[in-house]
Amino acid sequence: MCSNKWNKFFSNPATFPALITAISTIIVALVAAYITYSYNESQKRILQMQTIEKFIPHLESKKNTEVKAALVAISALGNPPVALALSDIYSSAGGKEGGDAIMASATSGKQIGKTSIIISAPSNYTDGDAKAGWVYLGSYSSSSNKWTTQYFKFAGKSQPQPKDLETKIVSVNERTGQLNVRNNMPSPQGEFSEITDVLEPKSEVKINAVKEWQSSGYMWANISYKKKQAIADYSSKR
């Protein structure tokens, strides 16, 4: 019964022209969509290159503050991976400082919904109320065994090695201010995951593990923390 219907369908002289027209329409639509997508991506890349071009004189400056400001500006314009790549190319003190600032405060294109600004306290990190996330610890020089930036206050040694911080409770540095908590540390390409919470100065967290990002000296930590006090909620559209 079914085969008879198909035989009638394909034996109809009008079938093939209609079928070819339908297939051609689909192919044309797919090609048009691909061309549009490719064009949009090309325009994004052109705009990105034009933006970077404007900052090159600042990146080549002998003033570290100017190099840092240029890198942070490129990141803020929606290009953290590009800014990090440039910080490696322009690897002066300003380039390193710029990369460090991006690690601490870069926004994410995936950021949606509400993020809590909180004060956290140690309490009991093993119970069900404890939260987990990734935070930026700071920049560490393995050659000199020193932290060039510290976004947490470390108890005991003033210059502990990164791995020595694991299992320790540390507090957010008052001098550097609020600190972002993320789902993950940056990808190898320098893409940042969304911000889930923001820790206020003096907030205490437990460090579970410490990892270096791409052999750069930029140290990240997986932490546990608990909400002691919710200060505010804000919607992020970045």
3-class SS string, 57-123: HHHCCCCHHHHHHHHHHHHHCCCHHHHHHHHHHCCCHHHHHHHHHHHHHCCCCCCCCEEEEEEEECC
The mean of the pLDDT values for the chain is: 81
Give the pLDDT confidence score for residue 39 in this predicted structure. 62
By the 10 Å C-beta count (0-12 exposed, 13-18 middle, 19+ buried), 142 is classed as exposed
- Cα end-to-end distance, the chain, whole Å: 59
By the 10 Å C-beta count (0-12 exposed, 13-18 middle, 19+ buried), 168 is classed as middle
pLDDT winner (highest mean) among 26-30, 207-211, 222-226, 233-237: 207-211
192 has pLDDT over 50: yes
More confident residue, 238 or 66: 66
234 has pLDDT over 50: no
Q: Are strands 169-172 and 179-182 parallel, antiparallel or unpaired?
A: unpaired
Give the pLDDT confidence score for residue 236 in this predicted structure. 42
